Amino acid sequence: MSIKLRNISVPILFTLINLYFSSLLYKYMFHHNLLINNKDILENNIVFRFLIDFMGNFFFVFLLMVPIFFKKWPLKKFGITNKKTAIIIILSAVYLTLFIYNQDFTMSGWYTSFYYLIFVAFSEEFIFRGYLFNKIDHEYSFWVSVFISGAIFGIGHAILPTIMHAESISYFINQALSNVFGQGILASAFFSIVFKKSGNLMVPVLIHAILDYLGIVFS
């Protein structure tokens, strides 16, 4: 095995384990009727929902963050810098505007906006762009990084629909194949270009959050 291939095998394996762990967790929660819909979040279940989202979406991000605090790794190692501050402020204002426009100031509404920003957008961009893409891009070309991280990203987006619809492995394969190009490689190319051009992971994080939250606001 070449040194380059060995260097990218760990982040690829880490990301795949993350997806597998998340799928097992949500599969268990689904089959035991423990999943809580965003609209059903109340004071008596918000802590439980937070713990599930943390374990399913953020736990592996937390593991990657441990060296930042204990080994003093710089945040820029994962693409978090102070570049494009003005764009960050504008995008944050857009997200806040969408929240206000949605006019859902209930606990469910507040948590939903937090969920899409932190547990979806930040988690996915941190792992797939800040970690996986960065590692592969360091060893290979930009487009090789986009293809590999995008393919895994697309496959990951096929897991939850398969679980939620209690479908077979053939359904998962069909979903994965359709997602690899659309939600996978194309989305990866877009977010990776934004990431590289801006030099700050928070730019694709906020764009990702806005695009996802738009679906909630205008649904």
pLDDT in tens, 132-162: 999 999 999 899 999 999 888 887 777 766 7
Q: What's the rounded mean pLDDT across residues 70-81?
A: 86
pLDDT of residue 181: 64
Does residue 195 contact residue 129 with C-beta atoms inside 8 Å? yes
State the Cα–Cα distance between residues 214 and 99, nearest whole angstrom. 10
* Number of domains the chain is built from: 1
3-state secondary structure of 41: coil
pLDDT of residue 200: 96
CA 7 remoteness from chain centre: 22
Find the range with the poorest average confidence among 27-31, 122-126, 136-140, 161-165. 161-165
pLDDT of residue 83: 93
State the Cα–Cα distance between residues 145 and 162, nearest whole angstrom. 26
Mean pLDDT of the chain, nearest integer: 89
Q: Is 133 exposed, middle or buried (0-12, 13-18, 19+ CB in 10 A)?
A: buried
Range of the domain at 45: 3-217
Find the range with the poorest average confidence among 109-123, 137-151, 178-192. 178-192
State the Cα–Cα distance between residues 95 and 104, nearest whole angstrom. 14
Does residue 150 contact residue 185 with C-beta atoms inside 8 Å? yes
CA 175 remoteness from chain centre: 18
pLDDT of residue 56: 93
Angstrom CA distances, 120 to 4, 78, 83, 168, 197, stand at 30, 17, 22, 25, 22
Query: What token pair was written down for 188?
Result: 């990866």
State the Cα–Cα distance between residues 38 and 107, nearest whole angstrom. 10
pLDDT of residue 57: 94
Q: Is the pLDDT of residue 1 over 60?
A: no
- Identify the top-confidence range among 28-32, 98-102, 147-151, 157-161: 98-102
Minimal CA–CA distance to 210: which of 92, 111, 57? 92
Find the range with the poorest average confidence among 5-9, 25-29, 69-73, 124-128. 69-73
Q: Is the pLDDT of residue 35 over 70?
A: yes
State the Cα–Cα distance between residues 138 and 216, nearest whole angstrom. 36
Query: What token pair was written down for 205?
Result: 């994080």
Query: What token pair was written down for 134?
Result: 């960065």
Q: What is the DSSP string of 76-142?
A: GGGT--STTHHHHHHHHHHHHHHHHHHT--SHHHHHHHHIIIIIIIIHHHIIIIIIIIHHHHHHS-H
Query: What token pair was written down for 156?
Result: 């990951």
Find the range with the poorest average confidence among 26-30, 169-173, 190-194, 199-203. 169-173
Q: What's the rounded mean pLDDT across residues 46-56?
A: 96
